[in-house]
Structure 1
Amino acid sequence: MDFMLATLLSVTVISFSGVLMPGPMFALTLSRSYHTPWAGAQIVLGHVLVELPIILLIYFGFAGFFELVWVQILLSLAGGIMIIYMGLGMIKARREAAQDKANFKYNTVVSGAAMSALNPFFLVWWATVGAMLVMKVSDYGLGGLGALAATHWLVDLAWLCLVSFIVYRTHRLWGSRVREIVFIGCGLLLAAFGVYFIVSGLKLWL
């Protein structure tokens, strides 16, 4: 049991180190929290819908699939293009967003799922660091796997819900111009990650 608790503690620390770094999900949370304090929870739900089957695949021995070069290239190119598209969509909707009138093409849960599924580094992380953690709890069966997944998701949920709540409660104090600038920043951040994914995929290809 002490080993299991130590493993869950390491999961908490590793998860926090990942979720605290600005990335596509963070930028998405900032933009969607203009409209609801539950944006963070909705994004995590989309994230879980993608992550759960990946965790199960790794548990049952398919971690190597996510390390295949052609899989990483395909996800890097397709994911990069999609994330750039979503980032440009944010920039285009900046004026409506500043007035709390933005109408997004994809709902928040779907967008959260897309940010996970189309992020090649997310899959590589689970095929390496994540697979190591899964192996550590494998002796405890599905109960240990469930504890690992729940710990990881609670960290994501706590941080993104905090961000979402703060943004929702304070964004009206920023002024429309500041809100517009923040929205542009989120869009540019997403587009930058998209470019980075594409470049990474092309490097693997070449």
Structure 2
Amino acid sequence: MLALLASVFVISLSGALMPGPMFATVLAKSYKSPWAGAQASMGHAVVEVPLILLIYFGAAAFFDQAAVRFILGVAGGGMVVWMGVGMFRARKSLSSGQKDTRYNAFTAGIMLSAGNPFFILWWATVGALLVLQAAEFGSGGLWALILTHWSTDLVWLSIVSGLVYKTHRLWAPAFQTAVFTLCSLLLIGFGGWFIVSGLQAVI
């Protein structure tokens, strides 16, 4: 059991440390609150925990179908692009603190998790193997996996948001605008990548 949880921690940490749409959004939302990372991770759990339970009960094959991958990629990618475009348009007012995005960090965690087809497919493939191994220890093993994985995201994103919130006032205005520009372009780029992946699933 400990060996399994250790592998879950290492895999989860490697995924959390890789820059992605969630990281970019937490970075931007941390200007307003040091709790942005925790809120985003809770929103992430709203999607992730039911998904893990669905896979536990045998839904992994469903999420790996071409039609489902197409819908997830196009719809989810479109939503992520929309979030990125909105952030890009408001980048100057966001960096000055005059404006915030229409969605809070918790909502962003839900939207980015539900709209990320690679996140869902990861759980349907690699993640499903971890779920099966955890299931050998009963329901306790499954919930230990969930808590280990989620707490890794929670701690990392909380560290990011805390550091950004405490230090962003020391950054030059031009640098702050550049941060929001980069975050928005990352969202648009990832959204476009999701759309392309969805189209490739049916080509």
**Shared fold, TM over 0.5:** yes
Q: Corresponding residue for 1:101?
A: 98
Matched, 1:23 2:20: yes
Question: Which shows bigger deviation, 19-28 or 134-143?
Answer: 134-143
SS at match of 2:178: helix
Matched, 1:172 2:141: no
For residue 67 of structure 1, the aligned residue among 57, 64, 69 is: 64
For residue 5 of structure 2, the aligned residue among 8, 18, 23 is: 8
CA distance in 1, matches of 2:171, 2:161: 15
**1:112-131 alignment, distance < 5 Å:** 112-131=109-128
* Deviation digits for residues 47-88 of structure 1 (CA, Å, limit 9, x no counterpart): 000001101111111111111111111010011111011001
CA distance in 1, matches of 2:95, 2:107: 22
Q: Corresponding residue for 1:49?
A: 46
Q: Corresponding residue for 2:85?
A: 88
Q: Corresponding residue for 1:205?
A: 202
Matched, 1:159 2:156: yes
Task: Give the number of equivalent residue pairs.
Answer: 203
Instruction: Using structure 1 for the length normalisation, give the TM-score.
Output: 0.96
Matched, 1:185 2:179: no
One-letter code aligned to 2:61: G
CA distance in 1, matches of 2:159, 2:15: 16
SS at match of 1:22: coil
SS at match of 1:205: coil
Q: CA deviation at 1:188?
A: 0.1
Matched, 1:35 2:32: yes
For residue 76 of structure 1, the aligned residue among 64, 73, 77 is: 73
Matched, 1:133 2:127: no
Q: Corresponding residue for 2:193?
A: 196
* Overall identity of the aligned pairs, in %: 54
CA distance in 2, matches of 1:138, 1:16: 21
Instruction: Using structure 2 for the length normalisation, give the TM-score.
Output: 0.98
Q: CA deviation at 1:107?
A: 1.9
Q: CA deviation at 1:103?
A: 2.5
Q: CA deviation at 1:101?
A: 2.0
Q: CA deviation at 1:201?
A: 1.2
Q: CA deviation at 1:115?
A: 0.3
The ranges of structure 1 where at least 4 consecutive aligned residues each deviate by more than 6 angstroms after the TM superposition are: none
Q: Aligned-residue CA RMSD in angstroms?
A: 0.8
SS at match of 1:149: helix
Name stretches of at least 5 consecutive residues in structure 2 with no aligned partner: none
